[in-house]
Each structure stands twice: as structure tokens, then as C-alpha cells.
């Protein structure tokens, strides 16, 4: 304070203004107090012993450290201002500094025209103004993290200015405004408009979901991709890694599997051949061959089970013995035996229930369950016939005493079963067993049903081979069966009318010209239609009249190969005595008929729910290049598994519910192809490898359901996100938004390509002689 009465202003939050008069200077008050937690009164100015003085602002505290206000809404004025000197004369005091307003709150709302003030007062002429006070907000329980949460909405005024002249102020809260352009926002973010105060400039946007991470609003998948430099570099890196791993996998497979799957005849395993240095082994081998020969010589008739051996239509034998065995069985006892067999062959209700449930949840498991129960059923039937049944239906005393004369067998696919009848040796009938030509017309029924897992096939066991060798050389019969089974592999259930035509043409061009040299002909036929409409397909073997077998000068059979056009084949069919064939079938109680290009149109073909998948997964011809096919399958298998993991990362950015939906509809179907494929690639032996490869293909095609679920989840999320967050600009949508379809579509394409490659892989394993598909009969028979 100068002699003239000029004073400096009071200081507090800001320095007080200096007083100045005629070259003399009066310093304003200094800054004091704790800016982080102010709790000080404002300072006055002048001499308090006289009336020429001003007071500083007081302290206003709302709430406390332990008990803050949940919210504060201000509609009027809260002031802690410094005092002012109203007189304009020289020599008066300066302005008082503002006081302190301390608020402990969660949220603050200042209405329009409301005032929160801690300003300095005005001084007299020449004296300094008071410094600004302090307004402090102590925010309680502010959420922390990347997302900015507003705590204040200010439409009124917050004042902490100083008085006149050169005073200072301290503003602890300010309003902000974002001047950036909308296109500068990261993808997956939203504008976040905040009105109110903050201690520092806040982030102007927030991510659309908690699964996006600040500051770029990337998902876990995008963070992985951009860690490697972006989509293109990540794709190149992943492709190179997959090829490298596939090469390592192929080398390991070759070391582990060895030469078991190489094309051509499979090498004989060490120790599998009979070592003639050990007489007992040779004798055992002779005994086995002798027993097989005796069994074939005593064979009377083969009676096929009706039905496909499913839970809804199990095996069953017809009552009344056929004509071929009426001389060796008792009819009443035979009918009782049939009743017992049919009872044992039927399945329990719970077996079919489990199968139905597994068909819905995981069809490959349903197939495995069905095959396991079929195997158990066949084992039970064999045990019953071999050891439990007393064979009382047989007239042979020796067969009843030794429990011989009946034998239950089935094809490898367990869909076709048959009961063989043998002589006991004490019948003393010179006409038994019947010769091959006495059995004509003879039915040879195919195993399988034309599905991918059970293609049609003719199972030629030792009994059938021995019978056919009475009229046809064994090598011709074996070659014919191999070629026929190769053609039957291509027949597809649900499309029999079209896919059986090549088989009929093959029989006319390849099989019958050679068999005709021996007085035999085979035709495609249907047999034994059941009450549910299921009929069995197979070959009808019968003699051709007026043709004799041609022989070479040395007495060996000579095969004459002739090319037949379709017109010639139809003419030959018309020349056959169809009426005599029908009469013979009726006489032997064989229900069925011959199938040709005309009658094939009337064949009833059943299609189930899985028929559409046969367009993707079906048996095909071998293509060779087994090593290359295996390498490509390894690459696609690893790529499939990688895309599955990336798809799960993408779905996780949507919600955990989407991940669980894809994972459990169908349960674990999307994860099963990888272990199934590895198991198939590293299995020993062509037959075992082919079987496991079919299971792998089945899991692969089943997982398409999971891929469709992922596609639906992505589409639903995309539609909901555009409705929930309309402020998200189209150019800001990332891989998880506009690219929701990329991974599901890639997975679907990969699985379809895998299905085709697995078909080739299975064909290479099962058909090691590609000459069986030759269109030239000469090449077929001479290879």
C-alpha cells in the first residue's frame, strides 16, 4: 500500500493486480493454496483498520471426501467472489480475490443462465484488481479405461476471472470442442458428444462394442492381422506357413506310412507268406485250403436276408424254404428257425433312438454307431447258428450232431447277409450238391446301397468263386468282378436310373461277350422287394442256349472279345427268351426281374434328407498322382483349420453367443474334420486309409452346417449393427462388419474342394488298377 493509498489487489488462485500511481508500484498479492484440493479463503486489499478495505471471497464446500453428492443440478447462482471498491477516487483499496468453491460430486449439471462464480473484485482508480479464486470439482467413482464417460453437462457459466487491471486467474475447468473430420475416425467407432467440463481434452469417439479396443477400435482378429502388416501381408505369411507345414506333414506321412498306399499291388508284408522251412505251417495251410475246398463242394444253396439291416428295417428271412433246400430241411422246423433268426436280427428300440439322435447331432457318429450295432448283430447271429441252435431243421444226422450245415455270413459293409446251406455228408443223394448249371437262374445280390459310405459291390467269396469256376475260368471271373465293382462304385443312390445305365452298357460290352464263350450270361436285376418298398439289386446268372465254350488247341478256354453297339445289345436282349427266364424265377420262388435300359425307368429310387450332399460327396474314378493329391489335401486341411480359428476370432468380436452357436450346431462338427483328416492321412494300409478317409469326408461335409450357422450369425450381426449404430459411416466398417461373409464363404469353398480331392484320394486307394475303367474290352481283359 502506497502513501497515496493505492493498493495491490488480493491474490489467491491468481496473482493480484499491481497498484500504480505516479511512478510508484504496489505489488499485488501472491498465489497461495493447494490447487489439487483448495481449501483457502480469498484475500482482501487495503488497510482493515480503516474503512478503505475490501474482503476476499469465502469458502463453499458441498459434499465431503467420504460422502460425495450423487449429482448436483444448479439452476441459480453459487458465488464466492472477492469484494470490490465502489468509489472511483484515487487512493482506495484494490479488489479482493475470489474465494474457494469445492464440490465433491459424481455428476454435475448446470442449467442455462446458472452461474458458478469465484471472481476477483474491482479496485479503485490506480489500485489492482483481485485475483481469481479457485473452483474445484472432486469427481468420485469415474469409470476408467479407454472409453470416455461424461460427468458434467454445463449450459450455464463457470467464472473465475480476476478484477480489473493486471490480475491473474486460475481456471481448473474448461469446455472443449473437437474440430476433426468425421472420416478421420477409426472404423468401428462412434462420435461421442460431451457437454461439460474436463481437466484435459477428452477422446471425441468411443468403440461400438466392448470387444473393440482403443485407440484404433480393432478386434482381436484385426489386431492379429495388422500385427503382420495388414490383410495382404498376413495372407501371404499364412499361405507360406501353410505350404511349409503341409510339406513337413507330407514328409512325415511318407516316413510313417511308407509304401502302403503306393499305386499298384500292395507289397507283401514280411512274414505274411508261408515259410516252407517249417513243415507244420505248410501243413496248416494245406488243412485250411482243404477245408475251403470241401466247404465249397458241399454247398447247396445261399439264402439272402431281406432288408438293408437298418434300425427301421432289419434283416429277416422269408418263411417257407425255397425249392433248392426242400430236400435237406424239415419245413416246420425251418419255419421255427426262421422265427428265431428274425427275432435275433431285430434291433431294440433304444438302438434306433440313439441313432436318430446322433443323426441330428453328428451324422458321422450315427454311421459309426450303426456299423457297430450291425457288427454286434452279425456276431450274435453267428454265435446262435454255430453253437446255440441245435440244427433241428436239417435232415442230416451228421449236421445236427456236429452243428454243421448252416453258416451266417455278411458282406464287408454289413448291409447284405446270407445263410449258406451245406451237406452233412450222409444224405446219399447223387444229385446233391447241384452243379452250377442246375442252379440257373442264380441270383447274386450286391452289397451296399449306392451311398458314399456303402457303394454297391459284388462280394465274391470262396464259395461263389468255386461255383463259378465250374463254367468260367477263375481268372476271368475275378477280373469280371473287379471291373464290375469298379463300375458299381460310380452308382449313386437317389439317382439309380441314370447311374446304372453305364453298368448295363459295361455288362454288354465287357462282361457278356467273354461269358458267352462259356455259355453264360449275366444281367442286372432286382430281387426280393420288402413290404417297405426296399428291393435288392444284383446280377442274374443264367445259361445261354445254342452257344458252347470255345477252347484253344491246348484245351484252355479262349476268350473272344467283340465290340457291341447299343443297337446290337438291344437286339440281343430281344432274342433272349425272357418268358423262360421269368418262368424259371417263379419256379424257384425268386421275386425279381431283369433291368435293362427300358425297365430301368420303372425302378423305384428312394431319396433321403442327405441326398443333396451326394452332389458334393460321391465316389469317382481314380486320377493317379497320389503323392500330389495327398499334399494338396494336407494344405487344404491346414488351411481349413486356420480359417476355422480365424472365424472364431471374428465371431468373438460379435458376441460369445455366436461362438457357442457355431461350435455346438452341430456339436463340435466344425472342429472334427482336422483330427479325422490327420488320422486318415497317417493310417496304414490302403483299405484302412480309404475307410478313414471316407469318415473324414463325412465330417468335412457335415461341418457345412456349422459354416452356414456362422454365415447366418455374421449376417444378423451386420444388420443389427447398422440399425443400432446408424452414425457409423460405411467407410468405417472393417473386416468384422462389411467383410462378415469372407471367412464363412472361404470355409465353404475349402470344404467343397476338399470333398472332391478326398474322392480322388479314396479312388486311388481302392482302385489300384486303372485299366478296369478302360472303354476298350481288349485292354481291360489283357491288363
* pLDDT band of 481, cuts 50, 70, 90: very high
Percent share of the chain, pLDDT over 70: 78
* pLDDT band of 501, cuts 50, 70, 90: very high
| Residue 529, Cβ density class (10 Å: 0-12 exposed, 13-18 middle, ≥19 buried) | middle
* pLDDT band of 262, cuts 50, 70, 90: very low
Question: What is the reported pLDDT for 69?
Answer: 85
Helix, strand or coil for residue 524?
strand
Question: What is the reported pLDDT for 189?
Answer: 57
- What gap in Å lies between CA 632 and CA 666, rounded to an integer? 27
Containing 410, the helix (H) or strand (E) segment is strand 406-410
pLDDT tops 80 at residue 105: yes
Among the residue ranges 268-272, 313-317, 679-683, the one predicted with the least confidence is 268-272
* pLDDT band of 558, cuts 50, 70, 90: very low
Compute the average pLDDT of residues 55-65: 88
Would you say the pTM of this structure is higher than 0.75? no
- What gap in Å lies between CA 336 and CA 356, rounded to an integer? 32
Peptide bond into 480 cis (omega under 30): no
H helix count then E strand count, the chain: 22, 21
Q: What is the pLDDT of residues 403-442, one digit of tens each?
A: 889 999 999 999 999 999 999 888 777 888 888 888 888 9
Give residue limits of the domains in the chain: 1-173, 234-263+624-782, 291-597
Question: What is the reported pLDDT for 529?
Answer: 77
Q: Dihedral angle at the C-alpha atoms of 354, 360, 365, 370, nearest 10 degrees? A: 50
* pLDDT band of 561, cuts 50, 70, 90: very low
Percent share of the chain, pLDDT over 90: 35
Q: What is the pLDDT of residues 289-334, one digit of tens each?
A: 445 555 667 899 999 999 999 999 999 999 889 888 998 999 999 9
Residue with the bigger pLDDT between 21 and 331: it is 331
Question: What is the reported pLDDT for 749?
Answer: 94
Average pLDDT, the chain: 80
Q: Which of 171-175, 292-296, 306-310, 568-572 has the highest mean pLDDT?
A: 306-310
Residue with the bigger pLDDT between 87 and 197: it is 87
Question: What is the reported pLDDT for 277?
Answer: 35
Compute the average pLDDT of residues 249-260: 74
Question: What is the reported pLDDT for 347?
Answer: 96
Compute the average pLDDT of residues 272-293: 40
Among the residue ranges 138-152, 351-365, 445-459, 736-750, the one predicted with the least confidence is 138-152
Compute the average pLDDT of residues 192-197: 43
Helix, strand or coil for residue 306?
strand
Question: What is the reported pLDDT for 739?
Answer: 76
Residue with the bigger pLDDT between 485 and 586: it is 485
- What gap in Å lies between CA 94 and CA 5, rounded to an integer? 10
* pLDDT band of 719, cuts 50, 70, 90: confident
pLDDT tops 60 at residue 738: yes
Q: What is the pLDDT of residues 514-524, one digit of tens each?
A: 999 989 999 99
Question: What is the reported pLDDT for 29?
Answer: 87
C-alpha atoms less than 13 angstroms from C-alpha of 632 in its C-beta half-sphere: 15
- What gap in Å lies between CA 691 and CA 685, rounded to an integer? 10
* pLDDT band of 194, cuts 50, 70, 90: very low
- Specify whether the CB–CB gap between 56 and 130 falls below 8 A: yes
pLDDT tops 50 at residue 728: no
Q: What is the pLDDT of residues 606-663, one digit of tens each?
A: 787 778 888 888 999 999 888 899 899 999 999 999 999 999 988 888 888 999 999 9
pLDDT tops 50 at residue 590: yes
Q: What is the pLDDT of residues 77-86, one digit of tens each?
A: 999 998 888 7
pLDDT tops 70 at residue 563: no
Question: What is the reported pLDDT for 205?
Answer: 62
Q: What is the pLDDT of residues 381-401, one digit of tens each?
A: 999 999 999 999 999 998 888
- What gap in Å lies between CA 301 and CA 324, rounded to an integer? 6
* pLDDT band of 568, cuts 50, 70, 90: very low
Amino acid at each position: 500500500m502506497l502513501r497515496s493509498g493505492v493498493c495491490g489487489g488480493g491474490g489467491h488462485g491468481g496473482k493480484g493486480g499491481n497498484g500504480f500511481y505516479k511512478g510508484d508500484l504496489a505489488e499485488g498479492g501472491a498465489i497461495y493454496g493447494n490447487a489439487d484440493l483448495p481449501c483457502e479463503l480469498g484475500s482482501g486489499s487495503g488497510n482493515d483498520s480503516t474503512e478503505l478495505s475490501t474482503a476476499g471471497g469465502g469458502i463453499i464446500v458441498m459434499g465431503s471426501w467420504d460422502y460425495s453428492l450423487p449429482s448436483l443440478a444448479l439452476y441459480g447462482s453459487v458465488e464466492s467472489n472477492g469484494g470490490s471498491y465502489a468509489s472511483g477516487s484515487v487512493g482506495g483499496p484494490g479488489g479482493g480475490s475470489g474465494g474457494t468453491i469445492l464440490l465433491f460430486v459424481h455428476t454435475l449439471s448446470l442449467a442455462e443462465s446458472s452461474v458458478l462464480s469465484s471472481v476477483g473484485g474491482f479496485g479503485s482508480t490506480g489500485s489492482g484488481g483481485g485475483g481469481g479464486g479457485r473452483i474445484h470439482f472432486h469427481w468420485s467413482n469415474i469409470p476408467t479405461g479407454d472409453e470416455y464417460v461424461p460427468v458434467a453437462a454445463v449450459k450455464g457459466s463457470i467464472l473465475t476471472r480476476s478484477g480489473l487491471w493486471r490480475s491473474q486467474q486460475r481456471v481448473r475447468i474448461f469446455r472443449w470442442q473437437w474440430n476433426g473430420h468425421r472420416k478421420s475416425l477409426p472404423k468401428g467407432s462412434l462420435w461421442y458428444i460431451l457437454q461439460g467440463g474436463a481437466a484435459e481434452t477428452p477422446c471425441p469417439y468411443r468403440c461400438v462394442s466392448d470387444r473393440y479396443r482403443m485407440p484404433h477400435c480393432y478386434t482381436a482378429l484385426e489386431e492379429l492381422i495388422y500385427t503382420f502388416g495388414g490383410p495382404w501381408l498376413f495372407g501371404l505369411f499364412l499361405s507360406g506357413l501353410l505350404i511349409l507345414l503341409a510339406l513337413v506333414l507330407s514328409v512325415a506321412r511318407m516316413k510313417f506310412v511308407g509304401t502302403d498306399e503306393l499305386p499298384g499291388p500292395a507289397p507283401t508284408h514280411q512274414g505274411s507268406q508261408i515259410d516252407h522251412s517249417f513243415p507244420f505251417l505248410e501243413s496248416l495251410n494245406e488243412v485250411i485250403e482243404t477245408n475251403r475246398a470241401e466247404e465249397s463242394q458241399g454247398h447247396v444253396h445261399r439264402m439272402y436276408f431281406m432288408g438293408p439291416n437298418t434300425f427301421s428295417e432289419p434283416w429277416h428271412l422269408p418263411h417257407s424254404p425255397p425249392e433248392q433246400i426242400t430236400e435237406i430241411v424239415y419245413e416246420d422246423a425251418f419255419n421255427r428257425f426262421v422265427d428265431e433268426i428274425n427275432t435275433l436280427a431285430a434291433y431294440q428300440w433304444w438302438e434306433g433312438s440313439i441313432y436318430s439322435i446322433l443323426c441330428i447331432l453328428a451324422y458321422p457318429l450315427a454311421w459309426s454307431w450303426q456299423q457297430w450295432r450291425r457288427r454286434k448283430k452279425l456276431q450274435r447271429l453267428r454265435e446262435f447258428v454255430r453253437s446255440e441252435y441245435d440244427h433241428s431243421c436239417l435232415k442230416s444226422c451228421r449236421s445236427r450232431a456236429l452243428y454243421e450245415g448252416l453258416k451266417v455270413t455278411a458282406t464287408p459293409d454289413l448291409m447284405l447277409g446270407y445263410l449258406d446251406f451245406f451237406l452233412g455228408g450222409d444224405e446219399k443223394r447223387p444229385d446233391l450238391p447241384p452243379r452250377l448249371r442246375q442252379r440257373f437262374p442264380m441270383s447274386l445280390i450286391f452289397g451296399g446301397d449306392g451311398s458314399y459310405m456303402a457303394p454297391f459291390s459284388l462280394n465274391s467269396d470262396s464259395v461263389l468263386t468255386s461255383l463259378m469256376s465250374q463254367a468260367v475260368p477263375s481268372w476271368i471271373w475275378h477280373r469280371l468282378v473287379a471291373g464290375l465293382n469298379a463300375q458299381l462304385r460310380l452308382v449313386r443312390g437317389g439317382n439309380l436310373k441314370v447311374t446304372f445305365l453305364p453298368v448295363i452298357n459295361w455288362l454288354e460290352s465287357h462282361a457278356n461277350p467273354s461269358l458267352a464263350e462259356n455259355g453264360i450270361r449275366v444281367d442286372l436285376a432286382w430281387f426280393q422287394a420288402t413290404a417297405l418298398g426296399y428291393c435288392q439289386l444284383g446280377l442274374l446268372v443264367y445259361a445261354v442256349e445254342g452257344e458252347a465254350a470255345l477252347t484253344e488247341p491246348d484245351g484252355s478256354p479262349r476268350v473272344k472279345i467283340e465290340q457291341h453297339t447299343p443297337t446290337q445289345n438291344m437286339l440281343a436282349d430281344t432274342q433272349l427268351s425272357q418268358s423262360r427266364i421269368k418262368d424259371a424265377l417263379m419256379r424257384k420262388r425268386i421275386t425279381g426281374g431283369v433291368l435293362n435300359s427300358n425297365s430301368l425307368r420303372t425302378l423305384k429310387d428312394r431319396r433321403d434328407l442327405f441326398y443333396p450332399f451326394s452332389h458334393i460327396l460321391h465316389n469317382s474314378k481314380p486320377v493317379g498322382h497320389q503323392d500330389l493329391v495327398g499334399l494338396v489335401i494336407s494344405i487344404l486341411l491346414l488351411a481349413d483349420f486356420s480359417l476355422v480359428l480365424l472365424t472364431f476370432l471374428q465371431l468373438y468380436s460379435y458376441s460369445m453367443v455366436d461362438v457357442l452357436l457355431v461350435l455346438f450346431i452341430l456339436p463340435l462338427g466344425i472342429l472334427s474334420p482336422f483330427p479325422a483328416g490327420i488320422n486318415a492321412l497317417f493310417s496304414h494300409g490302403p483299405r484302412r486309409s480309404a475307410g478313414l478317409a471316407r469318415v473324414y469326408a463325412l465330417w468335412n461335409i457335415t461341418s457345412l452346417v456349422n459354416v452356414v450357422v456362422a454365415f447366418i450369425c455374421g449376417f444378423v450381426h451386420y444388420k443389427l449393427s447398422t440399425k443400432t449404430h446408424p452414425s457409423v459411416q460405411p467407410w468405417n466398417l472393417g473386416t468384422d462388419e462389411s467383410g462378415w461373409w469372407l471367412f464363412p464363404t472361404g470355409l465353404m469353398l475349402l470344404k467343397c474342394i476338399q470333398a472332391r480331392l478326398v474322392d480322388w484320394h479314396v479312388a486311388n486307394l481302392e482302385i489300384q488298377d486303372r485299366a478296369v475303367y478302360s472303354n476298350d474290352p481288349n485292354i481291360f481283359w489283357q491288363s
